[in-house]
Amino acid sequence: MISLTHVSKIFDGKRKATALENIDLHIEKGNVVSIMGPSGSGKSTLLNLIGGLDRPSSGDIRVDGENLSELSDDDRTRVRRDKIGFVFQFFNLLPTLNSLENVALPLHLRKWPRKKIEDRAKELLNLVQLDHRLEHLPDELSGGERQRVAIARALSVYPPILLADEPTGNLDTATGREILKLIDDLHSRLGSTVLIVTHDLEVAERCSRTVALRDGRIVEDRRR
């Protein structure tokens, strides 16, 4: 499903920084994989590359058969919109849109018919148990609720891949557990491939596979 070959990412700046170095990684369909490592180990960079938000400096990234490195910006966006759902640590909800609108946004961008969008958005918010918060703005929601909206948004097109960057990082432990449980549920229900970046060992342990990064290299790849 996801396959990285010899992927490196070097940030050109005043000081050159190697974020990832010669990464080879293959993730099968339906797996739940956690990526661990200390700050600056390159885990978020890895996730961004897989999500097509960024381009590798070298190497190939294949997502569901598409070689991201060869695609244009807009084509990568198309891959992303059809195949990938994103969950961010800081939720990244649009503050001016209510829950329903936030979830509906990706569908609007795909130009779905209005009725279908509304049905799907409601269905998803139902799924994350927020059917009573449809008209609320992000500011009016708790952290856990916000992350649930974000997850619902990530799943809006039922993507085969879900990428989560520290989904619990900004939440208290209890809420964090709830969110993880939700992701688990969704995985089992929708059968998506899930990739979770975390430095929380508890989170990692719930996943069938854990990849550990340090200084831009894979130092451990453990399957349970």
Partner 1 sequence: MMLFRLLSWPYLRRHLVRWILTVAGIVLGVGVFVAMHTANRSIFSAFDRTVDQIAGSTQLQVSAGEFGFDESVLERVQSVREVGIAVPVIEATVDTNIPGQGSILILGIDMTGDRNLRDYELKDADEAIMDDPLVFLAQPDSLMVTQEFAGRNNLTVNSKIPLSTIEGIQQFTVRGIMSSTGMTRAFGGNFAVMDIYAAQQVLGRGRRFDRIDVRAKDGITIDECQAALKATLGPSFDVDPPSARGRHFEALLQSYSTAMMISSLFALMVGMFIIYNSFAIAVTHRRAEIGILRALGATRGQIQRLFLLESIVAGTLGSVVGAVVGIAAALGIARWISRVLETAGGVAQRVSELQVDASLIALAIVAGTGTSVLAAWIPARNAARVDPVQALQKGKYQVLSVGENRRRRWIALAAFLIASVCLFFSYSKPFFYTGYVLMIGAGLLLAPALTLLLSKTLRPILKRILPAEGTLAADSLVEAPRRTSATVSALMLSLAMVVGFGGFAHSFYSSIQEWMDNALNPDFFVAPSENLATRSLTFPAEISSVIERVDGVDQVQVVRDARVTYHDVPVMVISIETEKVASTVHRTPVAGSLEEMNRLTAEGKGLFVSESFATNLKTKMGDVVELPTPSGLLKLPIVGIIRDYSDLRGSLFIDRSVYRDWWKDDTANIARVYVKKGENVEAVRQRVINTLSSQYRLLVLTNREVRDWIMKLLDQWFAMTYNQIVVAVLVAVLGIVNTLTVSITDRKRELGVMQAVGGLRKQIRWTVWIEALTIGVIGLILGTCLGAVNLYYTLGMIKRDLGGIGLDYIFPSAFMILMVPIILGAAWIAALGPAEAAVRGSLVEALEYE
Count of residues that bind partner 1 according to CB under 8 A: 32
**Which of the ranges 82-90, 121-129, 199-207, 209-217 carries the binding residues for partner 1, by CB under 8 A?**
82-90
206 lies in the site for partner 1, by CB under 8 A: no
* Closest to partner 1 by CB, 79 or 218: 79
12 lies in the site for partner 1, by CB under 8 A: no
Dihedral sign from CA coordinates of 198, 203, 206, 212: positive
86 lies in the site for partner 1, by CB under 8 A: yes
134 lies in the site for partner 1, by CB under 8 A: no
**Which of the ranges 33-41, 46-54, 187-195, 202-210 carries the binding residues for partner 1, by CB under 8 A?**
46-54
* Closest alpha carbon to 11 in 60, 57, 73, 72: 57
In whole angstroms, give the CA distance from residue 88 to residue 123.
21
DSSP for residue 72: -
**Which of the ranges 21-29, 70-78, 190-198, 203-211 carries the binding residues for partner 1, by CB under 8 A?**
70-78
Per-position DSSP letters for 109-167, written without gaps between them: HTT--HHHHHHHHHHHHHHTT-TT-TT--GGGS-HHHHHHHHHHHHTTT--SEEEEEST
114 lies in the site for partner 1, by CB under 8 A: yes
